[in-house]
Structure 1
């Protein structure tokens, strides 16, 4: 029987079940908790719970599986759900018994009409999935009528089924997400939250063959590429400010790792604009990026993907998940990746091995423990890119490497996270989380620091640092919902702790110069040089915070809260071959900061499709790592933001948009003292602008992501006052479109195209040179040959179709201009079972 026939007969069985009277089984509701498993085992569990005898021939259930049932309902409904998709139904038997039988063929027909206006709770967060893969409870939303017995063959009209599709189901190919796990640490819908929030799901990563977070967040307005050491690290600017290492999070924990982070175990990437200090501690004010990892699932799923592309790129990924026991209380997920790739850049390469197992233990129906582990080993070569000549990047080949071929970087990371969740009641929950990360880096590099623009001779220095760092993080959150005098409250109270300690043992030396027009490499092995530069540093803080999201009249939402931080910054340096890391620790000094950071927001939703919002935030930013002339560490940066805008949601939540206007200032910016190695915290910078984001489905077959950002970012106090901030274009926008061709045209074919545009950007704060405006065009073609195997996917992506010279970010000077990829081809073969 084909898929449509099976679905039709399942609906017939569904109606027949509900047509029974209540005499055969008690209508008393019971708490059923039966996991997906073999149908025989599921029926045994059902009988034990309901005290009903289920009579059937063993041949009826041989080889069949049940989707299970996890809800409080009456036994008839539970058995209906248990049998859903098996081709079986039931009829009254004797006292306290039911008899299973096959759904009769050709005898019972059901006329079905769609629900034209489904209730709000049933409207999908993401309605576009592969048709055969939707996990629906159709009986809740379809109206059945006119049951007749007939031998006549009938044709049913098209039926549209609305339901809450699991947004994280592997089969979900929608770009739409209506909730964020990051912005408020609560389950408030995005359209009801007075902040600019953007979620890029796995479907976007798959369509665009994203390799790292930088490839994902280019689809968000106001997020630009910073300096990334040629792909070694992750460099972001959000709303005009460099996010540094403090703006990147994973599962709500800071991820202070300068590496090209894998997306193999990432489910979605969430971007929250503006200061997030109130819930996450010391962070740059432009915003934060949170990578949410894949969670174990009860339903078995296996996927093997092989990518191959330009410059000898080979990437293998494997994803597996399912239940480890029949009861479904112990779940697993395992992701692994092997990456090998060369580059258009001379001598550059990047190899990575990643393994990421996860476990979920449902200790009780109210208590759950999640444990994740990630191991990553990367080998690459640090790449500072090109240099500036005059007011533009030097006219030399974009492939030219200006460091040394013997420079090779190794990074090893071990990361463990545990989350314990307990629900006291449906409205009150406590979450306790812990994270431990250990990192090892061996990073030899030959870096530029001066250029004779007449001769092209580039002066360079050598640095080789061996760094070992350990990070501990913990948090406890209590979240509850209650009403007072008709006012709804969603309250969060929490505490967090962060401690990151690092010791760096390194050697610094001068290196031979190189001519940018005719490079001759030294090929000098400096691995035996004695260490002469030592760094000891610790960043630690405790913070307590609170937040209340108030709802009045179902239309007015008020958010208020604050955070108090106790922060410590410890830094020690030691120079000379006769020094040591212990000497740096002994010479270290502490700087303490305490500060209260408030946040307030208001949102008015006059209609279901529109909300108007505003917010105000003050924050304690990242610690300054510079010293003044007296040897004191500078005070930390602080920031303040005012933001307003509106959000829309159309087509039952399938197409959503946010338009934001903001004004953001950052104070205590470190400004170098000319001619010295010292700085003063006298600087101030301001960023203001407009951001537009639209994403989702225009029709069932057409999906898009549209962005535009106008960013006016400049230095308002200190050196270079009045100049534009480096790496920030005034105007930038993007458009990505995916079209699933109708099945009557070509079954299983999808096409996509993207356009990414940036205006010119200053390369440094002195505005001594500019990176030119640039446009990137991408294309995608995907085919699922269902006539061969419905689990097989073939895909081809072409990035930078026009083969333009594209520049990434700079380090804020004239000697570090990253160059992005020329035209590249990437082929993907994926086989998935579920």
Structure 2
């Protein structure tokens, strides 16, 4: 009863707050020659409320409490313009700004890298109307500038270097597995939870506008998720500007890549907008017979019904053709790294593994009034995979040079439906300001997985003198539809939630109170149908020490499904967790760069770990190990610390320990997939004046120590060696043209991740990274 009473109180606050009033600010920003100033930031000094000017130079900032404010207009590399405004209840205040620079000078600033690594606002898909500085949670945003500077192709590459404590563990060249705060983080796209046991396909960066890493509890904010956090990939949407960008990349290992980004209006009245992103890629590998060829087609339409409502439709089709899954591993009984980087267990005549990731996203947005906005969105994902998997059955008992390979089919069908309706409000009752969020989440995921056709592959392979091209290609029976040859797993949830962020003392002190009620459902042929329900509270406090500094405290709980079944075919109980976190955020030097420091402790129950007692050959099972505790410190710096020098520096200490387990020998072990120390740095300097204006230099490194394999199958838990990789590049940008040369792994280090495989006689396995390699890209904006 107490739980439902709390929900009733939140709903009451939500409804009664509608009648409070706020004002808004709008206007137009122009350059000295009378042209509209595009993508210029407008913000309320000391509050971090703001907006960005559109293609006509117009801006609007809504839901502002009455009072006098100083408003500043800025773009990194330009002189800031300030003006005092008076916001009145229920009225729109007008304020126009004129920049000293001409439209040509403004374009030069943007092209030569004036857009900093720092971002102050989250995307609308995170549902938060609160600026990052004032949010009682650690949120790090990776924008397009960073992605382009580091020449990141997809989520499988160097995205994690830009966020403290985030690491990429071994992968199969199709979907990203990213760990943070002691466990795998959830994968979201446009605010939708797209996480599946396998899939969907990792997002290509050609379609991505930004990536938002949300540290800590994810259960309340968007959907059910791990208490470690999640990452949210925000795809490119129409902006209303008629523009485009064409890019080409050549690189090591026969890498050829082309992208095209078109953005504009389809109707004369400017109501029908479009965005089209195309990508084609042929990409080899440092390993023999290895490749990952991809293409993507992402059209988006947005219709502005009126000044209050809009509809957005987005279709995504990503395709990847790759080598047999598992062929990117090396194996040895003698220890790690005793084979060359190009070693493979694959054969040149193996059929490719094909992955299709298709989705449809619909978004409806409507401003109820100046204080309230309604958003409804729905998505449908269809992920398919058809291919093979290679994994050894073991070494010869008398000759540790001879490896017996095994092969099986690996076919997947994943179907996911998600619907969300939520409202945001910014109102005031008496002396207390309210930022209200409430809504409904629903999701249903079906999963079909077939790897039933397994057999030994060829004669034993001498790993120190491999002979390829003599083994016949396997033949699998796919005469039946995948739904007919495997079992169906279904996980779904329905959730109601409400949040009120109460602002006191002119919004200097913010208290967040929230509640979520979630019902999980599971259906499979082994365990039948069952459901679990749980109430999860959320409480946070954020205090603005001064206009650029805020401290916060957060307590949150999570509740999410555990995919799959145990060795008996029984489904797992949901995973539950809670998090306690303290943090300090600050903007420096007129907010040109920012820092975030957080200290946290997470407790997780019903965590899935490997079940060695019931695993044999290529058949793997998990079990609910009991409890894990993770605590640590994280520190992030990003932005322009001095003129023309952008930096990204982060560090994380993570103490992740198993505290309860049915196997008592595992208690006290480091949690699989965690790294105790992770430190990254990326520096980018662009010359702003003189004959070589637009010439830039980038340099960065990644360092990890105390690395635990993501899959631990024995009690020894031999940690991986320390990891250090240096990368750097040279860029040149002039007008609409840009060139970027990037050198990865400058010191040609033998880098890898892997673990000890205790089954099939025991052996080491590891996945190597390429040695020194380059990428050269050219881009033209029109």
Q: TM-score range by the shorter chain?
A: 0.7 to 0.9
Say if 1:811 and 1:321 are closer, same or farther in 2 by CA, change over 3 A. farther
Say if 1:271 and 1:183 are closer, same or farther in 2 by CA, change over 3 A. farther
Q: Deviations over 1:765-823 (max 9, x none)?
A: 33443321121111111112x4xxx2211111111111111124669876552222221
Q: Normalising by structure 1, what TM-score?
A: 0.77
C-alpha distance in 1, partners of 2:54/2:603? Answer: 52
Which structure carries more relative contact order (alpha carbon 8 Å, separation 6+)?
A: 2
2:385 corresponding residue in structure 1: 441
Q: Say whether the 8 Å CA contact 2:54–2:239 is kept in structure 1.
A: no
1:544 corresponding residue in structure 2: 496
Q: Say whether the 8 Å CA contact 2:415–2:445 is kept in structure 1.
A: yes
Say if 1:420 and 1:442 are closer, same or farther in 2 by CA, change over 3 A. same
- Listed as ranges, the matches of 1:55-454 within 5 Å are 67=56, 120-124=70-74, 127-128=76-77, 140-141=96-97, 173-181=115-123, 185-213=127-155, 214-229=157-172, 231-243=173-185, 247-256=186-195, 257-381=199-323, 382-387=325-330, 389=332, 392-405=335-348, 406-451=350-395
C-alpha distance in 2, partners of 1:469/1:484? Answer: 47
Q: Say whether the 8 Å CA contact 1:35–1:327 is kept in structure 2.
A: no
1:796 corresponding residue in structure 2: 741
2:524 maps to 1:571: yes
1:724 corresponding residue in structure 2: 670
CA RMSD of aligned residues (A): 3.2
Q: Say whether the 8 Å CA contact 1:227–1:236 is kept in structure 2.
A: no
C-alpha distance in 1, partners of 2:245/2:110? Answer: 15
C-alpha distance in 1, partners of 2:333/2:601? Answer: 33
Gapped regions of structure 2 (runs ≥ 5): 1-29, 36-52, 62-67, 81-93, 616-620
Q: Deviations over 1:252-305 (max 9, x none)?
A: 012233434211110110000112111333322211011111110222111100
Q: Say whether the 8 Å CA contact 1:708–1:733 is kept in structure 2.
A: yes
2:543 maps to 1:601: no
Gapped regions of structure 1 (runs ≥ 5): 1-5, 12-33, 37-66, 73-117, 132-137, 144-157, 573-586
Q: Say whether the 8 Å CA contact 2:212–2:232 is kept in structure 1.
A: yes
Q: Say whether the 8 Å CA contact 1:776–1:802 is kept in structure 2.
A: yes
Q: How much does 1:604 deviate?
A: 1.1
2:567 maps to 1:623: no
1:612 corresponding residue in structure 2: 551
Q: Say whether the 8 Å CA contact 1:777–1:802 is kept in structure 2.
A: yes
C-alpha distance in 1, partners of 2:208/2:408? Answer: 33
Q: How much does 1:340 deviate?
A: 0.4
Q: How much does 1:390 deviate?
A: 6.4
C-alpha distance in 1, partners of 2:307/2:326? Answer: 51
Say if 1:484 and 1:391 are closer, same or farther in 2 by CA, change over 3 A. farther
Say if 1:129 and 1:198 are closer, same or farther in 2 by CA, change over 3 A. farther
Say if 1:379 and 1:599 are closer, same or farther in 2 by CA, change over 3 A. same
1:761 corresponding residue in structure 2: 707
C-alpha distance in 1, partners of 2:439/2:608? Answer: 32
Q: Deviations over 1:731-785 (max 9, x none)?
A: 110110111113125222111111111114122433443321121111111112x
C-alpha distance in 2, partners of 1:673/1:506? Answer: 19
Q: How much does 1:507 deviate?
A: 3.5
Q: Say whether the 8 Å CA contact 1:488–1:551 is kept in structure 2.
A: yes
SS at match of 1:328: coil
Q: Greater Rg, structure 1 or structure 2?
A: 1
SS at match of 1:216: helix
Q: Deviations over 1:390-440 (max 9, x none)?
A: 695241111101244415210112211010000011210100101011122
1:583 corresponding residue in structure 2: none
Q: Deviations over 1:173-199 (max 9, x none)?
A: 321100113795122101100101000
Count of aligned pairs: 685
1:458 corresponding residue in structure 2: 403
Q: Deviations over 1:144-179 (max 9, x none)?
A: xxxxxxxxxxxxxx9899xx99x9999863211001
Say if 1:621 and 1:70 are closer, same or farther in 2 by CA, change over 3 A. closer
C-alpha distance in 2, partners of 1:321/1:170? Answer: 21
C-alpha distance in 1, partners of 2:388/2:406? Answer: 11
C-alpha distance in 2, partners of 1:549/1:168? Answer: 36
C-alpha distance in 1, partners of 2:300/2:501? Answer: 32
